[in-house]
Structure 1
Amino acid sequence: MEKTGKNYKTVSLGNIKELGRVVLNEQLSLTGSEISINELPAGVSVPFVHAHKRNEEVYVILSGKGRFYIDGEEFAIETGDVVRIDPAGERCIAADPETSIRFICIQTEANSLVQFTQNDGIPVEGKPSWLN
């Protein structure tokens, strides 16, 4: 399903379990974040350590297990783990030798969030069919 409205855009990625890396910036016309869905096959690592100038990253581990390297420290990660890294954090991720790892990576400019949903959401008059 792909659909665009005045204030939204949707895309269908199909079976996420069969995707390699998908970057959603252009597909969703993102303006405040970068989102990618990634998979590293068993025993494979991102081939470099990197940091960022302005963006913090959040990794949501969807399946599998692996290891993270951040600022010289290494630790195990697995399904359900969530990791946030400051822009200056030197990072690298690797899949376990026995299993692939699938994760979502969300990048946003550090310190750019001015309020959370609880303070940003406002009630409006519209009502979906399932709210009677």
Structure 2
Amino acid sequence: MENRTDNYSILELGSFENLSKKEAVGRKGKLFLADVLGLTGCEVSLNRLSAGQGVPFVHAHKKNEELYIIIKGTGTFFIDGSEFSVQEGSVIRIAPGGERSWKADDQDLYFICIQAQEGSLTQCSAQDGIRVPTKVSWMNQS
């Protein structure tokens, strides 16, 4: 299910196992969210790599750094000639020029990848967020 308004977008994917039904750029288990949600400042993909499978190429980027957040499973990442293990809770940032690839171990590997142009972050949430007087159901209404 997808819902979009001027101020928000929602995609109800359900269980991450549902990624097995998705395909992008010739890869099963991948869903890019920019077009689906109308993202304008970053690209986010939800990913499922089947047990024992690996990305069949090494790549780098021209402008975008990537942030990988491993949410389930174990695997091996290759970055600039180094190989290292990843598991649930691993968070990896790769600069655009970093040569990268990865594979799943003996179980499916689920991860989120966030791409944004390197150097484009001008402020973080603490500096950007503003409080508004609106109250919601779980807040004290007095």
Give the drift of 1:4. Answer: 2.3
1:54 maps to 2:63:
yes
Residue in structure 2 matched with residue 80 of structure 1 by the alignment: 89
**Unpaired segments of 5 or more residues in structure 2?**
20-28
CA distance in 2, matches of 1:6, 1:71: 41
Q: Write out per-residue CA displacement over residues 18-46 of structure 1, whole angstroms, 9 at most, x where no aligned residue.
A: 31211111110010111011111111111
TM-score normalised by length of structure 2: 0.88
The number of residues matched between the two structures is 131
Letter in 2 for 1:71: D
What TM-score, normalized by structure 1, do the two folds share?
0.94
Q: Say whether 1:118 aligns with 2:126.
A: yes
CA distance in 2, matches of 1:4, 1:21: 21
Letter in 1 for 2:129: G
State the Cα distance separating 1:56 from its structure 2 match.
Answer: 0.3
1:92 aligns to what?
101
2:110 is equivalent to residue 102 of structure 1: yes
Structure 1 unmatched runs, 5+? none
Whether 1:41 aligns to 2:50 is yes
- Measure the CA separation in 1 of the matches of 2:104 and 2:72: 11
Q: Which residue of 2 aligns with 1:2?
A: 2
Q: Percent identity?
A: 50
Q: 2: distance between equivalents of 1:30 and 1:109?
A: 14
State the 4+ residue runs in structure 1 displaced beyond 6 angstroms: none
